[in-house]
Structure 1
């Protein structure tokens, strides 16, 4: 098979490949970019593998950077672009189920490709678009199968994260996991507990954002992978209940974790602990707390001006998408219209702040400032107080007398 019309990302890299070949070595595009090009999907990182050793790559090109020299990776700089060239290699001795104890550089493409995770990721492509398929990856692409290269038991013992990658690709591409590969995941699922949670997080979120997250959820339950990720063990039934919703069309990391925390019926402190265990950012935790509160209000039909105001338009729209996924009855258009009618959308839009109230000698420094500002904010958002200085000053005077 030869791809005639290469994406621009490949075209601009072809001279790099040609220089390597003119120096007497082999060079191929490898990995996900090849797979996605065949599928007609958007490609991201372009990876190049070569029979040339790092020192040889550095002799061929004037401008290089040692980005991962111990793993055989050298970045070639060319006309403002950087291309990572990785030497063909074999790996051995995965005692921690994550990283090889030993990396050996080799000249053989087949030796390099057979250490890769799945057949659809073990495709290589020459600079002219000719596909090299040593493990029937093209057949598995046509059959929509995720199949381990060689012995799946060995692949998952080498890197246990590959089990999560399998369910992620099944979801992302809407493929099925081949029977022996699926069985090997079931047999080794407990090894996932040895993997850093940050790596699992990345794969889990990508899985939930895939074409068919229900496949990923089903596979995680079927293989028991879900039992070895942080915080899910006590909520297996709640996780399984997501299979009852046929349109889990999620579009952001915030939506993924809001859905999970809502489905698990977690309270505020539980959400904080849960997401910290997943090593998420403070910003994401804050957004999820806000969205869960809004989602619960939507479900109980108690969504009011203050909740919409504190949620903000972007997170409110995202929350409405989750409500739709969960078949919660809500008029999305009306909610957005009600949000648009709010007098102010942010605290900064209020005409007077605490420092101004103090300058007017209405309030002295202390806890009272916060209470007064909260009352002002509440009444403006609820339409009971005009957002102008004179009205706010008169309201403050009246409030303090009471």
Structure 2
């Protein structure tokens, strides 16, 4: 992943596939997945999906172009924030990322993630690799789903239309049916992974951080799940209840993304049990009616707040965000004069994905240069 600057001054992320010269067949497979990733991305548009700006050809190599997001990936951010919270107040006061860390709100982030996932599922799209490392944060702390290299599209009967995803992905976020059988990934396995992502949001760590992958796999298959710790804030309990529903051992008992949005709209842990008692259709209908009444009484929607205290749990139905990125004036300009720092850095794994859009551009090597990796502040 590279960082570039648009002629208008907008920072961009440029992604290219990693191809092994030693294995021509694997190289072709990588290119095929890369092209499919861009094709799927291009059709997706949602505030919580990273925007796909277009493609660029540089020295015969194709790059996918997306906005460069200020706060990087959620996994690195929550890990850095965890270290920040362990500092003394005097040291925290001087920390360059203090403002961002203090604005972070677990409920708001979780709602943004499931909003993006619900949009994908409504389009019959399986993300396939849901985890905090595949969520980016913009300058306003809005989460955006990214990395669609594992994404698959379902047909009208919920069958995967291309090669089934079996055994590919991240073990600690994979559901027991994926780890123990030859079952392809599904909407319900995405929900399981979302539950594990909630764990990352709350704890700042990956699921089962103290054991190796092999042990984590055995734990998940045997029914073990991360445990709620007494040191967690009481306000996290509702999120943990939600996560527990998402990682149910039986896929059919996991709520859908639409169900989760309805549950979060009521902002209480008891809403989960109401959902289980009423059933999906009745529960969602009652929630949507309540949201309609709130909107009518307020007269208008409110904008997502720029800062939320940790003990607040905003009602998602009261938040409307129609911002677009980059600004309209930028989207019509050609992608030229991409500039890079001279000091190479390790590849930016959190940015191994891109968003949505309709335009493509081809620029020559003279018009665009990308010769070094950039460095993100939370690496």
Q: Which bin holds the TM-score, normalised by the shorter protein? A: under 0.3
Higher normalized helix content (fraction of residues): 1
Higher relative contact order (CA 8 A, sep 6+): 2
